[in-house]
Amino acid sequence: MPRDAIHLESRHALYDKHGYSPAVRAGDLLFVSGQVGSGLDGEPVPGFENQVRQAFRNLEAVLAAAGCSFDDVVDVMTFHTDPETQFPTIMACKADAFPQAPFPSWTAVGVTWLAGYDFEIKVVARIPKA
């Protein structure tokens, strides 16, 4: 099956710099690349909570470009540079995106490096039938 890449109207600098697509459609599934708290210039926004909230906004934009929303997300994977101290902030932001059951599956991974960022989120979503 050929890759059907999803692109945003205002292309994010990180996609070009590192050679990847924001998301790829495969059948009725959407595989979204990891989203970080960066502005359109590809630079991190200042402050941890701002980075997390921007990552969720960036994710929401990619989902919308494919005709999806947070309600369509079935699987979430997050990456954290300091999970123990960051978790309360992440949980608050996650609750804004996924406020009620049924919740998507979620895997949280502690890492030592995220290319200058402190949080990353990637998801798999089902594409709604038109």
Q: Which tokens hold the place of 80?
A: 């954290």
CA distances from 103 to 31, 67, 80, 87 (A): 18, 20, 20, 17
**In DSSP terms, which residues pair with 110 in a beta bridge?**
80
Answer whether residue 12 shows pLDDT above 70. Answer: no
Confidence of residue 42 (pLDDT cuts 50, 70, 90): confident
DSSP summary character for residue 71: G
Give the pLDDT of residue 118: 96
pLDDT per residue as tens digits for the range 44-87: 999 999 999 999 999 999 999 999 999 999 999 999 999 999 99
Q: How far apart are CA 57 and CA 47, in angstroms?
A: 15
- Could you tell me how many residues make up the chain? 130
Give 92's Cβ-side CA count (13 Å radius): 8
91-108 pLDDT, tens per residue? 999 999 999 999 999 999
The structural domains of the chain, with segments of one domain joined by +, span 4-126
The token pair that represents 56 in the structure block = 């969720």
| Topology of domain 4-126, CATH | 60s Ribosomal Protein L30; Chain: A; (3.30.1330)
The sign of the torsion formed by the CA atoms of 33, 36, 38, 43 equals negative
